[in-house]
Amino acid sequence: MKLMNKNMDYIKKEKNIQKVIRTEILFAPLLVIFPFIVGIIFIYEWYNRGFLLGDPSFDIELILGLIIIFGNILFDVPFIKSLIELSRKKEKI
């Protein structure tokens, strides 16, 4: 069991904590904002071509748009919180 847990550990970068934070901050806007844009495009497609024209074949776009947006929010919130926490740790170090 202990061996398995060790395998699940992340590869450490003991000397370059700043580099780690930079990597995260660099990708954070893309990881957080892009899913929202994609979700909104799906919902826009449903609204523009499905809802306004009364075509139910676009309902799947609405469902997918909502799944993408809420699915991402679920993980974005703790991710951003952890990022803020990490920045504080870095300041303390």
Residue 92 interacts with another protein (CB under 8 A)? yes
Euclidean distance between CA atoms 65 and 58, whole angstroms: 11
Q: For residue 43, how many other CB atoms are within 10 A of its CB?
A: 20
Q: For residue 60, how many other CB atoms are within 10 A of its CB?
A: 12
Residue 53 interacts with another protein (CB under 8 A)? no
* Residue in 2, 40, 43, 64 binding another protein, rule: CB under 8 A: 64
Single-letter residue type at 45: E
> CA 60, 54, 45: angle at the middle one, nearest 5?
45
Euclidean distance between CA atoms 4 and 59, whole angstroms: 44
Residue 51 interacts with another protein (CB under 8 A)? no
Residue 13 interacts with another protein (CB under 8 A)? yes
Under rule CB under 8 A, how many of the chain's residues touch another protein?
46
Interface residues toward another protein, by CB under 8 A: 6-14, 16-17, 20, 23-24, 30-32, 34-35, 38, 41-42, 45, 49, 57-58, 60-61, 63-64, 67-68, 71-72, 74-76, 78-79, 82-83, 85-86, 89, 92-93
